[in-house]
Amino acid sequence: MNLILLGAPGAGKGTQAEMLSQRLGIPSISTGNMLREAMKNHTPLGEKVRTCMDSGKLVSDELIMELISGRIAEPDCKNGFILDGVPRTLVQAEAMDAAGIPIDRVVSIEIDDAVIVGRMSGRRVCTKCGSSYHISANPPKTDGICDLCGGEVATRKDDEPETVLSRLGIYHETTEVLKDYYRKQGKLFLVEGDQPIEDANRDILRAIGETV
Ligand code: AMP
């Protein structure tokens, strides 16, 4: 199963991708996490994207394609993968098709901007492994500490309210068109995002043909 999760920033893609990864036994691939990791390690890639990332702008399609092609070629992806946050532009979606990266289904997590803005103010992310939390909906068992790896759980710089609004604008202008692209291919499924995490997960599993 090669799966794409679409949805505005804060729709719950990261959380759902992690749950699906555990259930299906295939990796979840987040270009956002890969880029944050590169920034944390001060690699040339990390330094190149830092300004873009911190202000919530998209990094170049070429760079993303290089990153994602390399990652998908790794052995752990041979039985499938879940893409979280990529493709983000029509150019990326077309480039993936042109590169022969097969996609089985695309699930779009649907949610209103107003709900997202409220959610993002409570969002926290593990600075070590990238796991997502929310201070009220999905808090770590110990305050500030990641359940999975023990890393520090903190607010993302690009989750500041002004940056969130700009990222939502970019989503509606640039990424939402991908729904049409995949609808025409008969691969698109919509799932309600404004519901408890487990319920959204159940709906996603149904959409991809898993028994729940
Ligand atoms: P995310 O964690 O998916 O919200 O991504 C955080 C940031 O990483 C975005 O605001 C972009 O700056 C960058 N980014 C992640 N994935 C992509 C992508 N597919 N295309 C362009 N920029 C991306």
Give me the residues paired with residue 108 across strands: 6, 190
CA separation for the pair 185, 110 (Å, rounded): 19
Is 179 annotated in the active site? no
Does the pTM surpass 0.85? The reply is: yes
120-147: pLDDT as tens digits: 889 999 999 989 899 988 999 999 999 9
| Atom 15 of ligand 1: nearest residue by CA position | 32
Q: Where would I find the H helices in 103-155?
A: 113-120
pLDDT of residue 153: 96
pLDDT in tens, 96-108: 999 999 999 999 9
Q: What is the dihedral of CA 137, 143, 146, 152, to 10 degrees?
A: 120
| Rounded Cα distance, 9 and 174, in Å | 13
pLDDT value of position 161: 85
88 lines ligand 1 (CB under 6 A): yes
For residue 186, the CA-to-ligand 1 centroid distance in Å is 25
Assess whether 157 carries a catalytic annotation.
no
For the chain, give the percent of residues with pLDDT over 70. Answer: 100
Average pLDDT over residues 82-98: 97
- From the list 50, 88, 179, 206, the catalytic residue is 88
Mutate to test the pocket of ligand 1, among 53, 165, 166, 178 (most ligand atoms within 8 A of CB): 53
- The answer, yes or no, to whether residue 44 has pLDDT greater than 90, is yes
Mean pLDDT of all residues belonging to the chain: 95
Q: Can you tell me whether residue 145 is helix, strand or coil?
A: strand
Residues 21-45: what's their mean pLDDT?
Answer: 96
Q: Confirm or reject: Cβ of 85 under 6 Å from ligand 1.
A: yes
